[in-house]
Amino acid sequence: MIEVVAELSRGPVFLAGEALECVVTVTNPLLPTATSASSEALAWASAQIHCQFHASESRVALPPPDSNQPDVQPESQTVFLPHRGERGQCILSTPPKILFCDLRLEPGESKSYSYSEVLPIEGPPSFRGQSVKYVYKLTIGCQRVNSPITLLRVPLRVLVLTGLQDVRFPQDEAVAPSSPFLEEDEGGKKDSWLAELAGERLMAATSCRSLHLYNISDGRGKVGTFGIFKSVYRLGEDVVGTLNLGEGTVACLQFSVSLQTEERVQPEYQRRRGAGGAPSVSHVTHARHQESCLHTTRTSFSLPIPLSSTPGFCTAIVSLKWRLHFEFVTSREPGLVLLPPMEQPEPVTWTGPEQVPVDTFSWDLPIKVLPTSPTLASYAAPGPSTSTITI
């Protein structure tokens, strides 16, 4: 029996273009004093990162596979295929890397191997939607002699920041250590430089504040004014807005605002509704605020953007956008007053109206949500960074 443990050095969340580092430890767990203790051997072990794509058949109409191309997944269980047995299709993968060959471990002996690979920058982000799913995994394959391959899969979460694809890594002297006694390999310098560049771009895009005002009205007049200080956010930030109802000519009885994502299948891949297809657009609510606001002059709300959610993105098959979805309930009666008179010559009993004729309407305000620091996402929404398998 051999135990294989894969541990990610920095947690399971990464930015596309960063280097993933994983330590693979192979152990013969039997103690030397055990009666059945004996040396164990593995023929080889290899590792590879891949992205698996799966689409809902009721929502997405994918073209049929090309029958002229041979099947690249042989039936033999001795060929290393990281996505073997996975749903959907593999749309992105890194070259496989061999960790070791002909490894023999004595009872109680353990050996560790380091695996490092740059996550492809051209791939989609990790996403689990109602129409499509993009799932990243690090797969480690091990094989005994004359035995099938055993696969160990480590789930990953990949964030994509648009625009890093066109950035070139500067020359060595531009990022050389300030001290001649400090040394850093090329991969480490590029990884830290990329993380710093991504942080600067995120800060520049989300730190700009400027008050944007929107007049809200229905067919009978002005309801109020909505104010928001920015339209670009990072995962983990709060969307803060204010609503001024004092200037309105139409009484607002209640309002709600929801922080939503809109997942939309691209037109060329939409399944026709008449053919039994589901809607091509789906919405998910991540936070919601509701308030009764009659006689309220000014109010505000704060909606947190979950760190576990997916920033906006667009691929050839699907797009994901963020928005604020407002719903208003207004009175049809002009000059509606539902409070008792303040001055009465003598005590009287006052009862509010049992029914008020109302109208409802909605309004959507698009916003933009970008990734955040992978380290922050790992700490706030921890996932499994260690996986184990016994061969």
Burial of 14 (0-12, 13-18, 19+ CB in 10 A): buried
CB 322 within 8 A of CB 261: yes
Q: How confident is the model over 283-318, as pLDDT tens digits? A: 999 999 999 988 889 999 999 999 999 999 999 999
pLDDT of residue 180: 42
**Any idea which fold 3-64+78-168+187-200+375-390 has?**
Immunoglobulin-like (2.60.40)
CB 15 within 8 A of CB 374: yes
Same fold, 3-64+78-168+187-200+375-390 and 209-334+356-370: yes
pLDDT of residue 339: 61
Comparing 194-198, 255-259, 381-385, the range with the smallest average pLDDT is: 381-385
Q: How confident is the model over 336-360, as pLDDT tens digits? A: 666 656 666 677 776 767 788 899 9
- How does the average pLDDT of the chain come out, rounded? 83
Q: What are phi and psi of 267, to 5 degrees?
A: -55, -40
Specify which of 68-82, 121-135, 327-341 reaches the highest per-range mean pLDDT: 121-135
Give me the residue spans of the domains in the chain.
3-64+78-168+187-200+375-390, 209-334+356-370
Domain spanning 209-334+356-370, CATH class: mainly beta
Q: What are phi and psi of 356, to 5 degrees?
A: -130, 120
The residues pairing with 240 across neighbouring beta strands, listed in sequence order, are: 302
CA distance 328 to 104: 70
Secondary structure class of 172 (helix, strand, coil)? helix
pLDDT of residue 173: 41
pTM value is: 0.82
Q: What are phi and psi of 236, to 5 degrees?
A: 95, -15
